[in-house]
Amino acid sequence: MRIATLSIALIACLFAAGGAAAQDYPSKPIRWIVPYPAGGGADNLARLVTQRVSQALKQPIVVDNRPGGNTIIGTQALLASPKDGYTVMHTAEQLASNASLYPELKYSAEREIEFIAPMVRTPLVLLARPDLPASDAAGLFAFLKQGGDKVTFGSWGQGGANHLVMEAFADRVGVRPTHIPFPGAAPAIQSLLGGQIDVYFSDPTTALPYIRSGKLKALLVSTRDRLPFLPNVPTVHESGYPGFDMYTWQGLVAAKGIPPEVVKTLAATVRQTIQEPEIHKELLERGFIPDPGTPEQFKASFLRTQSLLGDIVRKLNIRIQ
């Protein structure tokens, strides 16, 4: 009887110690993995957010860029780290599409990832080369249907969000243009400016300077609603293809198994950061749509995206080469 009592007491102490550790979180620097190169859009957003989150949590946050493999390298680094909340990852919709793009993927994001906080949604703007013989949505559709597979579109990489959004858009229109992948947004934009490709779905941050200078045409927006900073550019939804509403997103995740109290702390801190008036304004100016939410809302968004992009990948038999 005494042995059983001592065992129960020991278990209680262990649980109390774990609870105390979670309550003291964070007590040391946090590693914030970014599975993209330094200087890109996701990296810039991560550094903006981590600066405020670090101040709120009163601990340094170290941004660790782990690019490569369509975010797989960074995700594997996250999953190999201790499940204590001191390693987290800034991620995007590629986390959802990789399961379909890579049938031999060694992990399941749905089962092994803890979804903490959504941050932003990013609409995509369909840009056209300067001399494309179309200046509006109707002209674009006519050009696509007449050109068929001779029409070319660029992306920032095979399996990236703007690749899959363009494939979904082309499928709705009933055309199959030729995909030309590039190693990033910058070379794709340069090829569009030079007329080597016809169209390209771009994030607004990259697109706005070229639109405002008149160097590139903005013909459509991928989201259901028009953008406040491009009020004259129609959406795919309103241009004859109702229900089309696609965008990229970014948020914070960790490996499954971190303490629930840590999830609550990080989720609340990121949500408050995104809602700060100064940050909210800056995000809008960068072309992001602030999207503060709960872990449950983030997980639901991930599952919707995984299903939608998975359907596109399977229907069109898209493979990473």
| 54 and 94 part of one domain | yes
pLDDT value at residue 205: 82
Residue that is last in its domain, among 239, 267, 289:
239
Same domain as 193, residue 46: no
Same structural domain, 160 and 207: yes
Residue 70 banded pLDDT, cuts 50, 70, 90: confident
Closest by Cα among 194, 152, 196, 156 to 175:
152
Instruction: Clarify whether residues 91 and 104 are in a common domain.
Output: yes
My answer on whether 158 and 108 are in the same domain is no
Query: Looking at the domain assignment, is residue 184 inside a domain?
Result: yes
Q: Mark whether 226 and 138 lie in a shared domain.
A: yes
Given this model, what pLDDT does residue 157 score? 82
Confidence (pLDDT) at 228: 85
When pLDDT is cut at 50, 70 and 90, the band that residue 183 belongs to is: confident
Q: Is there a domain that residue 321 lies in?
A: no
CATH code of the domain covering residue 163 = 3.40.190.10
Q: Count CA atoms closer than 13 A to 73's CA, side-chain side.
A: 11
Residue 53 resides in a domain = yes
User: Does one domain contain both 185 and 259?
Assistant: no
> Percentage of residues in the chain with pLDDT exceeding 90?
74
Note down the domain range covering 151.
125-239
Write out pLDDT tens, residues 246-290: 999 999 999 999 999 999 999 999 999 999 999 999 998 888 899
Total number of domains constituting the chain: 2
Residue 248: beta bridge partners?
A: 122
Residue 297: CATH number of its domain: 3.40.190.150
Across the beta sheet with 125-128, the strand order is 178-181, 152-155, 199-202, 125-128, 217-221
Domain end call among 239, 261, 288: 239
44-57 confidence digits (pLDDT tens): 899 999 999 999 99
Residue 114 and residue 156 in one domain: no
Query: Looking at residue 21, what is its pLDDT?
Result: 53
Looking at 214, 239, 264, the residue that finishes a domain is 239
| CA-wise closest residue to 261 among 16, 15, 25 | 25
Sequence-ordered list of residues with C-beta below 8 angstroms from that of 113, at least 6 positions apart, any chain: 75, 95, 253, 254, 255, 256
- Whether residue 188 contacts residue 216, with contact meaning beta carbons closer than 8 Å, is answered with no
pLDDT, mean of residues 115-132: 96
- Report CA dihedral (204, 207, 211, 213) to the nearest 10 degrees: 120
C-alpha separations of 114 from 44, 62, 122 in Å: 23, 20, 22
Q: Decide if 95 is inside a domain.
A: yes
Does 114 lie in the same domain as 158?
no
Indicate if 111 and 216 belong to the same structural domain.
no
pTM given for the model: 0.83
Same domain, 81 and 49: yes
Which residues share a beta bridge with 118? 251
* Across 210-234, average pLDDT: 94
